Chains A and B, each alone.
Chain A
């Protein structure tokens, strides 16, 4: 049946800011849904307050609302836009929960909005575990013995009956948050209490643990005719017990017989059919490794992280097809978008192995508990494709950009074998490397299998890697013969790794390899194992077999992506990469993109003309450049990942446009950077360099406390510390290892501002100045920020622009640049210059209507600013509204992490609020929290000893003005559980304050560790009746104001 003609407009709910458990995959699915429905002619109304997403671009939706994701604000949008349909299964758990609530509260009925795709009953059955268990019982599908509990007493009764281990899963939480496996009653009670507290409906599922079983997932699709297909199945290398988001996963399953594969597939088809889902669904099974017994463990009646992975792994775009099914199409009517020769009603056949590795944040949080369990901790993931599993594993670890050198994680070498065994038994993020280290030490497969329950098939391939690694170590660059080198390459040993063990330069390995004719072939991902001709240029490399690259004579530009989402390098770089592709295509270039992140829009094969799923290493990137005969390479949009490749690529003679290693080094090396600023007469924060601890103390005294310590090369604020006095410095040195030389800056507690500019080598264009809410010292990623700047004088703004101009002209810089400033006592200092797109680029672009990345791309191609931007002003007039950017943290998923903000970034995502006043913008920002807190009105001030400070006195007054109550005397442990507890303000770094913050976090009490953030919160607290406007309306308002000024 063709599409539903009764619909004119469709509302799509996005998943909001990025948090652990809900990341870029929902930008991918949402963008696909928008595109798929827009091409059908529907008017698309989108609600998502995450500005870094691609889906929130004007081109993808007709009306984009950056409004809070609450029922209240959605109802206002529905009342205003009167959409005919609602699509709720593309915005993760957030979207699903909201649709559910809109239905329950009668909003959908009131405004006659049809829920498209999966019906509400199916959502209910899939989400409400009691209803789900009942249905599975009717279908005869086994689920582990379990009980829904709402209090601890019932939980204990169940545990006494069933015995341990027991798994605790709180209802309606993100990424399995708040759950865990308990091996004893004591552990169990703690976890149940926590789970009940985290579940919005105070409900937990407790069930017999099937930890150690094989964990197998199916991605299933169904249309209204009940045609069902499984797009892909996936096998977790880590058995049940580690959240699938934190597991190493392979596709397709490797250790299941056909009988087992189809036994589970049939169950999956039966379940999706019984639930009545229309669209995509993820179904997870636990399979006994030594019998045909299986249990159903989870059903997600929506697109998910796994469906994004499956889409990239197979080439089958689940979200796109699911969106079409939601408006009435059938699978058999839709063409397979990869082959363009076959139909969507089929199951992809893979002729390669896919490996997914999670990207965990413990490099940023060395003090967090890094043990993996049922609560997801990964911020992102990488995917690798190859014809053999060994190289697929190697490619995945090369893509991680972690501390590993190939298969070797140096920190593990110091551990004893017993410690390593302990580590792999408890499973943390280093388990893969620890297993390899054990094999390196001669441990056998059986022992490792007993400790980890990982299938011997996988362990065998790990061991094979170590056998080959030894082989590599036994030979040398001069001696290695073609066959050995070919085999090492085929199995994934990188030139970099070989150069390391042979103690030669990587370029020498490359030279010899190429002389021996060992170069990669590129194979296609075509959904059908070559059975049919495929039209789509989606490739992966293999050091074996025939090269399938299709010839093309067009001018090609390569865009280097940004790899896995991690703290400090998020979805904003995917936004930038994709926009650059769009701009290049407009200019008539053929676009080639390399990336390895399966969650993102950039790795949608429909974005760039040619997509390469490859690690972002020098070897892999240069291989693609050579195979494709790339004319130009763009690195400014792939975050630090792409920037880090510049030096080597340049040395290899690659034409990188817009930025050179010389410029990057001049900006990143603090000494050279300060020289540059001095030459240009631009003030910089006074700083000194210390080569050792003695010098550090001496120079710190010389400069005077407070000081800011930073490594001479700095990325994402890593290794940066603010130190208030000598005592703190002693404390710091006891706790952290400092890498020398270290830079000691005077710490200026000034205002912080930043700009994103585009430049043509001579002239600059700045859409707006962004001002941070907090004083300098809070990482820009973790600070609240306002645009346009609110408290800068005209003079300060002029200086900001003038310094930017000077820097650009001096460097003849082309493309996009981010500059950060601190303003202290009326002096504007330049803090940092990033010769690349930054986190704020999407916000600035969207809220000023200036597509910075597209402009920058055209400038990189050689155009002048005046050809691309209509205005001659360097700085655009202020927009007539307020945009507030706020950080979003996932700290509650990472036990052990303090919510205190500082120079090292901790947030995983961001949101924006747009309003006429800062008060309203603040109110929108905190609205989801405040509305959940009901009548809470107490703010706890952890200010012991700071009472006399003026700012604290003012804060107290402000709290009272807002008719809220200051609390400081009540025992904190008691207060935090009160219904009246609204927010916690805690400034101090000591142990007690840290403990309190963690406690507040566990009770989900909003915590502020900066004065200005708390003030911002208070500003909005009494602002009621928030308005809703789309960005299109705001921009129209801006245009009208501009016209009014001209007239």
Chain B
């Protein structure tokens, strides 16, 4: 079926709607992902909640959808926009085609779009609202709603995984399964808690360390949680990833801001001032910690984006808090930085030893 992608700047792109949708039109922020593989991981990463995702790689769906590579239980994207979607998944693990999978979740798949042209719009004018409709007329754009997304993707109850020696509480703002997996692989016991869990509840769990997860949306929407977060991270060795990293900064009084069009891909170069080399990282974020605002906090910037010099991670000079803007758990993308988890767990062990001998 012929369908249209309308951008808030007035540009319209004609394409083909591959799935049937129940709504007349679909709205959402249009963002693009530059990785050449990993569409399944992207679709199921909760951080993409309510976003319409444009894949810059033109052939998507070649290896289908399999049972092993989900990052959460369901897709979170609002719509998928590609040039070509493979009708079939050609892979021994494939269980559904991309189209079958999206159809099952009632997510629109818009194909035959000049995705490169869409990307150039976003690149020059910044991430913007878009809508998919069956009419070529753009019509009025709905006002961008400041909905709090985290509560829709966070777990509502406490879940326990693994039975390892280190006990990590993973505060769920919309975590990716690979983060949990990275901890389990390193012999941790992981307790996943809702994003708004109180300090007392966490304390009662007697964790050895805290992991603040990734998640969707503007970190400032979670201002109510900041005092709790501050208290938690001041008490326990902490690793914070993506949204979690932004929350650490906010909890210490620093500021965050929106990037023009975000970093979403598998090739973001990040300089590590400790290891003195550059790592390729997987990223997915629209907001970033303001560098200047960190000057008023004790935090030291450790990781910097080579391309735009933005803050990619920091540590507290005296407390065991380490936070990264990128995704060390990879999936999709390179896992060059997964030693961050080892560093974190080493800290967790050291702190525990200190406690034992203290």
Contacts and interface: CB of A to CB of B under 8 A. Distances in A.
Partners in one complex: yes
Interface of A: 225-229, 252-259, 261-262, 265-266, 269, 289-291, 330-332, 342-343, 345-353, 387-389, 455-457, 460, 523, 528-533, 544-546, 548
7 contacts: A262-B330, A269-B336, A289-B92, A346-B267, A387-B83, A457-B62, A546-B117
B90 interface: yes
B116 interface: yes
Given A349-B35, A388-B58, A531 B123 contact: yes
Contacts of A348: 267
B90 A255 contact: yes
B269 A350 contact: no
Contacts of B37: 252-253, 256-258, 261-262
Closest 4 pairs (CB-CB, A-B): A545-B114, A258-B38, A457-B90, A529-B56
Interface of B: 32, 34-38, 40-41, 56-59, 62-63, 66, 68-69, 83-84, 86, 88, 90-93, 112, 114-117, 119-120, 123, 265-269, 271, 276-280, 306-307, 330-336
B307 A532 contact: yes
Contacts of B267: 346-349
A265 B92 contact: no
B34 A528 contact: yes
Contacts of A347: 266-267, 280, 334
A255 B56 contact: no
A332 B36 CA distance: 23
B116 A389 contact: no
Contact of A456 (B40, B90, B276): B90
Given A225-B276, A262-B330, A349 B38 contact: no
A324 to B, nearest CB: 15
Contact of B307 (A227, A254, A343, A546): A343
Given A254-B62, A258-B38, A528-B34, A346 B57 contact: no
Nearest to B63: A257
The prevalent SS among residues of B at the interface is: loop
B36 A346 contact: no
A608 B167 CA distance: 61
A345 B306 contact: yes
A925 to B, nearest CB: 48
B83 A388 contact: yes
B268 A346 contact: yes
Contacts of B41: 258
A261 B91 CA distance: 13
Nearest to A342: B307
B251 to A, nearest CB: 31
A455 B92 CA distance: 11
Contacts of B38: 258, 261
Given A225-B278, A351-B56, 8 more contacts: A229-B269, A257-B63, A258-B331, A347-B267, A460-B88, A530-B123, A531-B265, A545-B114
A258 B69 contact: yes
A253 to B, nearest CB: 8
A256 B34 contact: no
A222 B345 CA distance: 29
A228 B278 CA distance: 8
Given A457-B62, A531-B265, A346 B306 contact: yes
A252 B267 CA distance: 14
Contacts of B59: 254, 353, 388-389
Contacts of A256: 37, 63
Contact of A388 (B35, B68, B84, B92): B84
Given A255-B62, A332-B306, A343-B307, A226 B34 contact: no
Contacts of A254: 59, 62
B269 A345 contact: yes
B268 A266 contact: no
B34 A349 contact: yes
A72 to B, nearest CB: 42
A805 to B, nearest CB: 55
B88 to A, nearest CB: 7
A523 B83 CA distance: 14
A455 B90 contact: yes
B40 A352 contact: no
A289 B336 CA distance: 25
A255 B63 contact: yes
A351 B269 contact: no
Contacts of B116: 351, 387, 523, 529-530, 545-546, 548
B335 A262 contact: yes
Nearest to A458: B90
B316 to A, nearest CB: 26
A530 B336 CA distance: 24
A457 B84 CA distance: 14
A532 B32 CA distance: 12
Q: Max chain B CB contacts within 10 Å: which of A269, A290, A353, A457?
A: A457
A263 to B, nearest CB: 9
Contacts of B90: 255, 455-457, 460
Contacts of A531: 32, 34, 56, 119, 123, 265
A258 B40 contact: yes
Contact of B58 (A253, A343, A352, A456): A352
Q: Max chain A CB contacts within 10 Å: which of B37, B69, B93?
A: B37
A529 B307 contact: no
A455 B114 CA distance: 27
Q: Max chain A CB contacts within 10 Å: which of B40, B57, B112, B279?
A: B57
A457 B307 contact: no
Contacts of A291: 92
B63 A530 contact: no
B63 A346 contact: no
A640 B289 CA distance: 60
Contacts of B276: 225
B280 A346 contact: yes
A289 B63 CA distance: 12
B57 A350 contact: yes
B119 A530 contact: yes
A291 B92 CA distance: 8
A332 B38 CA distance: 26
Contacts of B35: 258, 349
A255 B331 contact: no
A264 to B, nearest CB: 11
A532 B123 contact: yes
A548 to B, nearest CB: 8
A318 B217 CA distance: 38
B167 to A, nearest CB: 28
A389 B269 CA distance: 29
A261 B306 CA distance: 24
A287 to B, nearest CB: 11
A332 B278 contact: yes
Contacts of A258: 35, 37-38, 40-41, 69, 331-333
A387 B58 contact: yes
Contact of A257 (B58, B93, B335, B336): B93
B62 A343 contact: no
A399 B298 CA distance: 61
Given A350-B57, A545-B117, A265 B334 contact: yes
Contact of B269 (A226, A343, A387): A343
Contacts of A545: 114, 116-117
Contacts of B114: 544-546
A743 to B, nearest CB: 51
A335 to B, nearest CB: 11
A345 B114 CA distance: 28
A291 B68 CA distance: 13
Given A258-B333, A457-B90, A528-B34, A227 B56 contact: no
